[in-house]
Structure 1
Amino acid sequence: MRPSPSAALPLLLLAVSGPVAAHGPHGDLAIPKLLGGGRRFLSELLAYAPFNAGAAAGPATTRPQTREEMEEAEPELHESAALRRRQVGGKDGMCGPGVGSCAKGYCCSPEGWCGLTSDYCAAPDCMLNYGSGCDGNQKPEGVDTSGVARPHVGSVLYGGLGIYDCVEKGDIAITFDDGPYNYTGDLLDKLAAYGAKATFFITGNNLGKGMINDYSKPWAGYIRRMVNEGHQVASHTWSHQNASQLTAQQYKNQIIWNEIAFNDILGFFPTYMRPPYSICEATCQRELSQLGYHVTYFDLDTEGYLNDDPKLIQNSKDIWDQAMASAKPADAQYLMIEHDIHYQTVYNLTDYVLTSLFARGWKSVTVGECLGDPKENWYRQGPGGGGGGGSSASSASSSPGPSSTEGGIGSGSNRPPVTSSRLTPTPSAPPASTGFPSTTIRRPPTPTTTTRSSRRGGGDASLVPDNPNNHPGSSSSSGSASVASSTASSGLQQTVDGNCGKGVTCFGSRFGSCCSANGFCGRTADYCGQSCQPQFGACSDSPR
């Protein structure tokens, strides 16, 4: 029988808090926030909520507690389930601890059933030990990196209890976990518009998105673009598994397989990583030291992953405001965590944070920069065969290759170089001693004067530039005045968060002047093409 809701909730909290508390900084019990992959935990909490509320509101009601009771209560609805219940493993039977494994190549879902779709196979919740087809069990193509030498260079800590703080005063290193994902291309556009830098802790194959070096998808293009535009890329493991629940070999696969995919895309791989769920016990700490990784946590979390709703995202803005009220650039620094898999984080919170950050005199930097670590220490040269790094960089910049929207790089076994219009040109090859891309770190622009707007009004940022019409390539005051006049005469409000439609226009915005069919502002063919909405912006990225 399932425990009663009142009994089960404390058990869930206890089960999760234990392993997280075990790795607090400096051996104490400080608990980093549980992130992203707490999805299953959070969904279970939500599942209990209606029954708790019902119990408080009136007399207790009887509800089926077991699968058998559910089938008896609704025999027609559960007839097929009753048939499947008698099957174990195979292609559509039950699976999991104490039950058994699925047929070869099939996945064991979090609910304990065998199947092949994303509902069954997606990491991190597919049960690795009972479904060989789980995304987390799929090794990427590419040259093995396990034999690469891993010397510890520089002064930044390797392995161990990890890094929680920046060291350079006035720096804020914003990091994004769990991507790349559907919103990452727009996030990169946004960062470029602000002149901001970020660090991306990348998962190789999670959330059903497929492998990052699957060249029919846009992920590899996004990763190359991150490096080309001066951001830092780091590892968040292959499929976002909880290190404390893996064997030693499974955990090593989580690290090495992500390296293989990075190396396949870039020709090198990161030396920085963040453990999923902030869980990395003693064995994990030693392994990451041996593999030459800086274990990176954070000291500022706005909890955007808990507030991914227009009515809730203000909670995250309030956390940011509290941090800003208690610290000044002259004597503080932050290592901040966000997730680019959440809509409100990308399209709402990021604008709020970046506008406030620059207005208050902070610097937007990568993790490596905020730790004072030279850029050549951020990556290790791979064993060869990579798509765009090392000595191949010069040839890559001149090779035409197929183009693709959203920073994708087309399909094909030869993994051609990226030439999408959304990417900056591949940089020239650096000295042979490093093999790393020679990108230029662009410092943020001088902050503009800011004004206050409504803090609770429709999810808009409370700090917006006096002149939000400016974006790269349109900085003249006369151009700004004409844009403002055109917007006013149309009766539409100019977007402040990159959304458009329903009375909001992209025209002249820093996100781009075109409004896509899905209601997002941008300046590429994806936004300005045939599906562009002319009533909410231009259909070319130039003033009318």
Structure 2
Amino acid sequence: MPRFTRKAKIVAASATAAVMVTAGLAAYALYPERTAPADARADAIAAGKKLVDVQPRPGGARSALPDGPPVDCEKAKCIALTFDAGPGKDTPALLDHLQKEKVPATFFLLGKHHVVKYPAVVKRLFDEGHEVANHTWSHPRLDKLKRAEIREELKLTQDAIAKITGEKPTLMRPPQGRINDDVTSVSKELGLAQILWSATAKDYSTTDSELIKKRILKQSSRDGIILLHDIYDGTVPAVPGIVAELKKRGYTFVTVSQLIAPAKPNPGEVYKP
């Protein structure tokens, strides 16, 4: 994925835009501004904000959260592990491994056929300290919908998650990363920051766990956000290898909200490393 400076205006000539479309990157031309997690942190520190524990819940005995004080990503080599479109049948096995390794993650959950089908899994990942976020109700391209339809897609999932956990998410991830002004406006209205990514395995296109691991490790970088899906057969088996190698490389796993702390996610804002 291309990297952009903080809140940089995208001004592309038609020829460049054509290349982007051909490369499958058209989504990144749909919104003019985005904020890198490191820049959000820096701005908050400059404004005098202090590091606080922004994790969703302490988690208890089976917490996936590491012991000790909150992680300071200005000092630590942080990376955020995120999963889209679940929970699914393999999510409990994933949670077992994350708990064993004390690795927190952010889960962008789908409402229809997922949150409503696996409420106990949603409750478990919340109780174990993972960050619970919104990935719409039925996974449409939000930029193709009317404002009322966008609101319904996000609000249905907000309400379904809150019914299980007692809290509404503060983060959302738009399907395919597709965003426009209406998506941003509705997200702001519902109190949702928009979270993109910097590393993806395209695990929807392969069941090869080794390939998934290889793709993620190649793209991983400090302050990065990893995108995986816990609903595909090759993904959960790839996670132990990804976690082990990134730990060996000195990375500390954090939730998305931890990654930007002491800043807090700003509703409507787009975050991308």
Structure 1 equivalent of residue 193 of structure 2: 294
The 5 Å alignment of 1:169-318 reads 169-205=76-112, 210=113, 212-213=115-116, 217=117, 219-309=118-208, 313-318=209-214
**Unaligned runs of at least 5 residues, structure 1:** 1-12, 28-153, 156-165, 381-544
1:320 aligns with 2:216: yes
Conserved? CA contact 2:217–2:246, under 8 Å:
no
1:355 aligns with 2:244: yes
1:340 aligns with 2:243: no
1:256 deviates by: 1.0
Structure 1 equivalent of residue 57 of structure 2: none
The DSSP-based 3-state class of the residue aligned with 1:361 is coil
The 5 Å alignment of 1:124-135 reads none
Distance 1:174-1:286 versus aligned 2 partners, 3 A rule: same
Distance 1:304-1:25 versus aligned 2 partners, 3 A rule: farther
**Unaligned runs of at least 5 residues, structure 2:** 1-19, 35-42, 45-71, 268-273
Distance 1:19-1:251 versus aligned 2 partners, 3 A rule: farther
1:290 deviates by: 2.3
Distance 1:198-1:246 versus aligned 2 partners, 3 A rule: same
Conserved? CA contact 2:213–2:239, under 8 Å:
no
Conserved? CA contact 2:31–2:180, under 8 Å:
no
Conserved? CA contact 2:80–2:224, under 8 Å:
yes
CA distance in structure 1 between the partners assigned to 2:251 and 2:25 by the alignment: 36
1:306 deviates by: 2.2
1:364 aligns with 2:253: yes
1:323 deviates by: 3.6
Q: TM-score by structure 2 length? A: 0.69
Structure 1 equivalent of residue 37 of structure 2: none
CA distance in structure 1 between the partners assigned to 2:192 and 2:91 by the alignment: 25
> What's the Cα RMSD here?
2.9
Between structures 1 and 2, the one with greater helix share: 2
The DSSP-based 3-state class of the residue aligned with 1:322 is helix
Residue identity opposite 2:175 in structure 1: P
Conserved? CA contact 1:259–1:269, under 8 Å:
yes
Residue identity opposite 2:115 in structure 1: I
Distance 1:361-1:25 versus aligned 2 partners, 3 A rule: farther
Distance 1:369-1:304 versus aligned 2 partners, 3 A rule: same
Distance 1:281-1:192 versus aligned 2 partners, 3 A rule: same
Residue identity opposite 1:356 in structure 2: E
1:288 deviates by: 1.2
Residue identity opposite 1:298 in structure 2: W
The DSSP-based 3-state class of the residue aligned with 1:269 is coil
The percentage of aligned residue pairs carrying the same residue is 27
Distance 1:278-1:265 versus aligned 2 partners, 3 A rule: same
Distance 1:338-1:247 versus aligned 2 partners, 3 A rule: same
The 5 Å alignment of 1:131-150 reads none
Q: TM-score by structure 1 length? A: 0.36
Structure 2 equivalent of residue 22 of structure 1: 29
The DSSP-based 3-state class of the residue aligned with 2:168 is strand
Offset from partner CA, 1:85-109 (integer Å, 9 cap, x none): xxxxxxxxxxxxxxxxxxxxxxxxx
Residue identity opposite 1:314 in structure 2: E
Offset from partner CA, 1:368-398 (integer Å, 9 cap, x none): 1111157xx67x9xxxxxxxxxxxxxxxxxx
Residue identity opposite 2:211 in structure 1: N
Offset from partner CA, 1:456-513 (integer Å, 9 cap, x none): xxxxxxxxxxxxxxxxxxxxxxxxxxxxxxxxxxxxxxxxxxxxxxxxxxxxxxxxxx
